[in-house]
Structure 1
Amino acid sequence: MQRVVHVAVAAVMLGGAMTGSAVRAEAQLPTVQQVYDKYATAVGGRDAWAKVTGRTEKGTADITFAGLSGSYVRYIGAPNLMRMTINLGVLEIDQGFDGEKGWQQQGQGAQRMPPDQEKSLAENLQTGATFLDPGRFAKAEVQSKETFDGAEAYKLAVTTKGGAEQFEFFDVNSGLRIGSVVKSPAGAQQIIYRDYKEFEGKKLSTKVIQNQPQGDVIINISTVTFGAPDGAVFKAPAELR
């Protein structure tokens, strides 16, 4: 009888210790605002980004599963405009969003993007310092600290105001965003952000890896120019207007 009592007490004490450890681990996690404040500082500060009205990125793209490489150009303009072209020689990929319509074409005429992709572009393509404000999400929480792409990272679960769910990963030490996992009806897509470099006092990832079922698409950015691109580059193809 005495032995049973001792075991029970030990179990209660162990449970209390485990609960205490869990509370301490949870208490060590920063708030969402603290994560984004560190991120903002790491990429140059909110004041520097607030002046940005658009940018032009140039570099190369590697379609690993097809063994193809080519030039990459992407234009971003206010409030959420985007145009991207990848010239692979045998094929040119053209994608864009004019603020209302998203399209993509790969040598067979322009096709309208699925509604979920259009919604995602409308919400995630932000100019200025908006991308550094967690208030743009309907819901956000720091879930855990875990390893992502070989680095210790804070994992944030966010829900956009349009209802899309995704995870964001921020390097514990540098504060930089190093990855995302975006959910969609077609499944989850993982994106890795590496090799941050400074352009005009602001930092951007210069190696973006999109993990896809058939293989990776790797974007390597060599130059970034800030300023609003010519509005004509964002016009949808004539057949979609």
Structure 2
Amino acid sequence: MRFVRHVGMAALLFNTMAARADAQLPTVQQVFDKFATAVGGREAWAQVQGRSEKGTADITFAGMTGSYERHSGAPNKMRMIIDLGMAKVDQGFDGTVGWAVQPTGQAQRLSAEQEKSLGESVQVGAAFLDVSRFAKASVDAKETFDGVECYKLSITSKLGEERTEYFEVATGLRRGAVTKTPMGEQRSMFREYKAFEGKQIPTKIVQVTPQGDVILTTAEVSFTPPDPSLFKAPDGIAK
């Protein structure tokens, strides 16, 4: 009987400690409020109607280095070009139609699922700081990610895509994301935040692949809206 009492007391103590630990976690809104402050504030980002980044791309497992540029325009247009000399990645989205240019130079339209994903994930302005864009989100725990203590968030998009995001406890900055894809988990780490026109941006993004790391290093950032022609789908792409 005494043993049963001890077990019951231990269970009660464990549940109390777990409840206290949960109570110490912030809400999703609080995490994103701190994130917004850390990167320059929602008001500053709300003024952004376009953005261009230029830098280098390192394909570590292939020993290849080249140039990298990414452009975005309101409300959700995107163009990314990685030129490695022997190979080139060229992908775009005009807000409706997405495409990728093959190594042969032929452009191919992306699948409907890929276009929907791009339409939801490409964000210009302060939309990336708005938690209402998620179908579900929760703060699950504190966990070390990429060497720093982070809040671990489980997020489900309105399209049903699931991912885990990590926000540094001390600074509020987003430090990484793990996304579920048909090819398996894609792990990204956001490092070396720097200020550009008062807005903090990670200048080194490490994408972990089964073959090895892909490292995108940003050297230049402009918030001048890019030329609209950058987002025009290539000739021959069905609309």
Please indicate, yes or no, whether the TM-score normalized by the shorter chain is above 0.5.
yes
Is residue 219 from structure 1 mapped to residue 216 from structure 2 by the alignment?
yes
Is residue 79 from structure 1 mapped to residue 80 from structure 2 by the alignment?
no
Tell me which stretches of 4 or more aligned residues in structure 1 moved more than 3 Å.
none
After superposition, residues 40-119 of structure 1 pair within 5 angstroms as: 40-108=36-104, 109-119=106-116
How many Å apart are 1:116 and its aligned residue? 3.2
Q: Describe the SS at the equivalent of 1:34.
A: helix
Is residue 12 from structure 1 mapped to residue 8 from structure 2 by the alignment?
yes
**Bigger mean CA deviation after superposition, 31-40 or 160-169:** 160-169
Q: Computing the radius of gyration over CA atoms, which structure comes out larger, 1 or 2?
A: 1
Name structure 1 gaps, 5 residues minimum: none
Alignment coverage as a number of residue pairs: 237
Is residue 143 from structure 1 mapped to residue 134 from structure 2 by the alignment?
no
How many Å apart are 1:120 and its aligned residue? 2.0
After superposition, residues 104-183 of structure 1 pair within 5 angstroms as: 104-108=100-104, 109-183=106-180
Given candidates 158, 174, 181, the residue that maps to 1:184 is 181
Given candidates 214, 221, 235, the residue that maps to 1:238 is 235
- Native 8 Å contact 1:116 1:184 kept in 2: no
> Which AA in structure 2 matches 1:212?
T
How many Å apart are 1:72 and its aligned residue? 0.7
How many Å apart are 1:186 and its aligned residue? 2.3
CA distances 1:167-211 after superposition (whole Å, capped 9, x unpaired): 111001110011111112222211111110000000001001111
**Bigger mean CA deviation after superposition, 111-120 or 73-82:** 111-120
CA distances 1:137-173 after superposition (whole Å, capped 9, x unpaired): 1111111111111111111111111111111110011
| Cα distance in 2, alignment partners of residues 218 and 118 from structure 1 | 24
Q: Describe the SS at the equivalent of 2:236.
A: helix
Name the residue aligned to 2:26. 30
| Cα distance in 2, alignment partners of residues 22 and 33 from structure 1 | 22
| Cα distance in 2, alignment partners of residues 54 and 20 from structure 1 | 49
| Cα distance in 1, alignment partners of residues 125 and 49 from structure 2 | 6
Q: Describe the SS at the equivalent of 2:40.
A: coil
- Native 8 Å contact 2:102 2:108 kept in 1: no
| Cα distance in 2, alignment partners of residues 68 and 114 from structure 1 | 28
Q: Sequence identity of aligned pairs in percent?
A: 56
After TM superposition, the score normalised by the length of structure 1 is 0.95
| Cα distance in 1, alignment partners of residues 164 and 13 from structure 2 | 30
**Bigger mean CA deviation after superposition, 36-45 or 134-143:** 134-143
| Cα distance in 1, alignment partners of residues 102 and 205 from structure 2 | 21
> Which AA in structure 1 matches 2:173?
L
After TM superposition, the score normalised by the length of structure 2 is 0.96
Q: Describe the SS at the equivalent of 1:238.
A: coil
Q: Describe the SS at the equivalent of 2:160.
A: coil
